[in-house]
Amino acid sequence: MPPLVTRFAPSPTGYLHLGHAFSALDGWTRARAVGGRFLLRIEDIDQTRCRPEFEAALLEDLSWLGLDWDGEVRRQSDHFADYQAALDKLQTLGVIYPCFCSRKDIAAATSAPQGPDGPVYPGTCRHLDPALIAEKQAAGLPFVLRLDVAKARVLSGNLAFTDEHAGRISAQPEVLGDVVLARRDTPCSYHLCVTLDDALQGVTLVTRAEDLLPSTHVHRLLQALLALPVPAYAHHRLLADAAGQRLAKRAGAPSLRSMRDSGTSAAEVRTMIGYADPIFRA
Ligand code: GLU
């Protein structure tokens, strides 16, 4: 068995809350329990939403929580060239296409089925005439690059992966539709960067919340296309508050630092989410 390598990969778009602490502790305890490695990666490709002060805050909050990490922190914004090379490879395979639809167009398309993350792209630009694409691009119309999932699937073999809780899963990358892999203000998407980085950093077990399970189906397809190793996965349940509401930044979950400021200790935070001292495991 190769040594266990886990990671925590937050985006510095806000302060960490209990859900993040749970994910981080999950990866950290698994690695530390067996002498493996725990990596920290800053997922800051969306430069319109990420802020350096949130990055500084998350490093501080993780340390306060009692976590440490191995090696250098990888910051995605330092690696745009790696992601571009992967995009180029996908372009060569002929599995990406420019899409000129706005979010509004997609939401308004009556044919857009609802997926786990909102409306699934109905494929309007999937087979645009190359001359029309050239014309739109020459006119400077904004576009994103999408993955042609059906075409990509034809090029890929068996798309299985293992989740610790759900078992062996046959990936259904269609679930999120033709996902966006790059846009003008964010030259590569979460899906591409996370898949590439987990491979480049030698992550053997991806631990993250179960709301990202649909994304894993897409990541498995990208692994096949880019000939990347397939890690094991452990998608954990989402934490809920006392009222049963899922903890999420958008829902205004209290941040770790606001809890700290109001007198909650790191040990109390850990205990609250099932990671009691001394080894942070309940
Ligand atoms: N940056 C992503 C997030 O914060 C990471 C998800 C993952 O662990 O793959 O949701």
* CATH, residue 97: 3.40.50.620
pTM of the predicted model, to two decimals? Answer: 0.93
Report the domain count for the chain: 2
What is the pLDDT, as a whole number, of residue 60?
98
Report which protein residue has its CA nearest ligand 1's atom 3: 10
Same domain flag for 160 and 272: no
What does the chain come to in residues?
282
Give yes or no for a contact between 76 and 42, defined as CB atoms under 8 angstroms apart: yes
Atom of ligand 1 nearest to the CA of 7: 8
What is the pLDDT at residue 187? 85
Going by C-alpha positions, the residue among 201, 136, 104, 217 that lies closest to residue 169 is 217
Please check whether residues 162 and 257 belong to one and the same domain.
no
**For residue 235, is it within any domain?**
no
Atom of ligand 1 nearest to the CA of 8: 8
Residue 11 CB–ligand 1 contact under 6 Å: yes
206 within some domain = no
Question: Does one domain contain both 69 and 109?
Answer: no
Q: Does 236 map to a domain?
A: no
Q: Which two tokens stand for residue 67?
A: 């976590």
Question: 105 with 218, same domain?
Answer: yes
Please tell me whether residues 48 and 125 are part of one structural domain: no
Looking at residue 249, its pLDDT comes to: 52
| 232 CB within 6 A, ligand 1 | no
Q: Which domain holds residue 192?
A: 80-201+213-228
Residue 109: which H helix or E strand, with range? none
Instruction: State whether the beta carbon of 235 lies less than 6 angstroms from ligand 1.
Output: no
Tokens at 110, concatenated = 């009556």
Identify whether residues 12 and 119 lie together within a single domain: no
Q: Given pLDDT bands bounded at 50, 70 and 90, which one contains residue 211?
A: very high
